[in-house]
A and B are shown apart, each in its own frame.
Chain A
Amino acid sequence: MRRLGIAEALREGIRQEMARDERVFCIGEDIAIPGGWGGAFTVTLGLEKDFPDRMINTPIAENGFMGVACGAALMGLRPIADVQYSDFLFCAMDQVCNNVAKMRYMSGGKLTVPMVIRAPVGVTGRGSQHAQNMETFFMPLQGIKIVCPATAYDALGLLRTAVRSDDPVMIFEHKLLYGSKGARAEGGAIDASSDIPDDDYIIPLGQAVVRKEGKDVTIIGTLLMMHRALQAAEQLEKEGISAEVIDPRCLVPFDWETVGNSITKTGRVITVEESPKRSGIGAEIMAVILEKYSDCLKSPARRIAAANVVVPFSPPLEKFYLPQVDDIVKATMEIVQHTTTNA
């Protein structure tokens, strides 16, 4: 058992997977430059010492190297392709959306693309273009699975599953949860470290986890927003409201069973996300809840999301843009009181 942060856990996982399977290799910008940073957030730091031939440093060419990784995956290798900031995925949209996601289907299931794409997300004082939670953009894309680990334990278990999967998997990692150290440490970081067992555990895709049990309201959030939801739940406890916090961990596939069971129990639901509200993750979750579980709802559902604007820079603007713990607390109290008032 060891205590590791997300960046360390991912590094350990990649190291183990590369040692276990010689088809696994890493490809991306600045991932393995001696004296460099191991990608933008230290995840691949030092791996070039162990695997000098399987850490492929690329030119700054996101579309190109995503396609290169896809081509290698079609030949049976298992690339882990890494962009420094998830926003850069826009440069790679053609390869990710038209090739990585579609090659299997277009070939009638004859081709496989066993590929992992890793991408850091989150609003972190870098303005508009190093800030987006790009998982929202890939939710409607058919042909890719989407993972969002909020703890080091989950990051390692889900990474192992993703690398061993024969399907393309995107892992969105949060900059404030990495626990990156030294020059790459992040201001405002949150401790997402875990006790990591020594065994080769895996976490299947599509299994949510109940982070805190409760009976009055279900709060659903991933990544940083899961941590904020937990903080909010603690405050709500003091107000006499028992909130259940669910971390889906995967957006595709999505664990509707765990969410459905919780809503059936609590009769109230709130989603929390770091992206703008319009057509966001909450929109999708709420739409399914309306279709499947509307009979269970005792009060109006509520989406807590970022404002429908571009991510701003200045600290007070950024704070306003992002959902805060107090926003979750306030919204929860409102919908709980709504039911009480109307009872």
Chain B
Amino acid sequence: MSMKRYSQEFLLEMYRKMVLIRQFEERVKFLFLEGIMPGTIHQCQGQEASAAGVCMALSKDDVITSTHRPHGHALAKGVSLQSMMDELFGKITGCSKGKGGSMHIGDLDKGMITAVAIVGGNIPLATGVGLAFKMRKEKRVAVSFMGDGATNEGAFHEAVNMGAIWNLPVVYVVENNLYGASTPVEMVVKTERISERASIYKMPGVTVDGNNPIAVYEAAQEAVDRARSGRGPSLLELMTYRITGHSRRDPALYQPKAERQKAKEKEPVGRFKKYLLEKEKVKESELDRIDTLIEEEIEKAVEQAQKAPFPQPEDALEDMFVEAI
């Protein structure tokens, strides 16, 4: 995967993040399909390497903004599993006190602004976070995750342009999973690569294999270093694939079977596991131990979330303003 050498500790942490995301999503999907969990869900099975690889390049003080598909980003940035599970169940103990739900999870203490579920709506926020860091002369970096579809929004172009003209410490991360909901990206984007759009804003734009966490990490590290050292924003296009529906019970019939099959063979979790076993000589028992620990952690979180109290109905009236009206 890479010529560089990484410590086993680093590689296992990358693996842990990816497995955590995969298992979380699979467990949530089951709970949702069984009718145990309320609401709707947008999941990221198959896209774990982008969230994990980018967030491994960030420090705790760096801040990410996310989308309607935020679970992976949140887990990778360190938002607590329990607070997320509680939020998905609509419990008062959730990271947004049950007011946000699946599409509005976050925890600024962990460096994640509550996710924004309007496509493209989170991108200007990241530019603004970067502006605040620059004005306060802080060596922190803002990251905006987005899907391929968001890059056709005006908000993308307005926000990326402002990031560029003010030379802000921002990394714009496009997770290109080839579909905006059900619409194939080639129907709505003329250029071969979305990263080409970076050049018109005079910022570096690269396309990398988004299912290879080390490649993602290395590209992110370079962009983050650049941002942190005052050399301005970058755009990363991470090629990936969503091996689940867009939302809820979507069977994703718009994804051709052959394409889907191929994507499953290249899905990042199994692929990284194979790499760790074969190339990095990690013991299988070590990986199994991580898998089991996460499984237990998730089961515990589900159990606790189900027992946690709902908000009181009239709590709906709280949290509008700092100074209530």
Contact = CB atoms under 8 A, between A and B. Distances in A.
A61 B162 contact: yes
B124 A98 contact: no
Interface of A: 25, 53-54, 56, 58-59, 61, 63-77, 94-95, 98-99, 103-112, 142-143, 145, 165-167, 205-206, 252-253
A74 B98 contact: no
Nearest to B168: A68
Contact of A54 (B129, B135, B166, B319): B135
B295 to A, nearest CB: 28
A71 B126 contact: yes
B322 A112 contact: yes
A145 B129 contact: no
A1 B165 CA distance: 42
A252 B323 CA distance: 12
Interface string B309-322: 00000000011111
B155 interface: yes
B321 A99 contact: no
Interface in B124-146: 124-133, 135-136, 142
23 contacts: A61-B162, A63-B155, A64-B127, A67-B121, A67-B128, A68-B159, A71-B127, A71-B130, A71-B131, A74-B108, A74-B128, A75-B129, A104-B319, A104-B321, A104-B322, A105-B320, A106-B96, A108-B99, A110-B97, A112-B322, A167-B322, A205-B323, A253-B325
Contact of A74 (B95, B113, B161, B165): B113
A20 to B, nearest CB: 17
A68 B113 contact: no
Contacts of B98: 108
Interface of B: 63, 65, 94-100, 104, 106-108, 113-114, 116, 118, 121, 123-133, 135-136, 142, 154-155, 157-159, 161-162, 165-166, 318-323, 325
B113 A111 contact: yes
Give the most central of A74, A111, A206, A252: most B CB within 10 Å: A74
Give the most central of B94, B106, B133: most A CB within 10 Å: B106
B321 A67 contact: no
B121 A64 contact: no
A104 B318 CA distance: 10
A108 B94 contact: yes
A103 B99 CA distance: 11
Q: Which 9 interchain pairs have the tightest Cβ spacing?
A: A71-B128, A67-B124, A64-B158, A108-B97, A109-B319, A75-B132, A71-B125, A253-B325, A61-B158
B137 to A, nearest CB: 10
Contacts of B155: 63-64, 67, 94-95
Contacts of B159: 64, 67-68
Contact of A106 (B99, B142, B161): B99
B132 A71 contact: yes
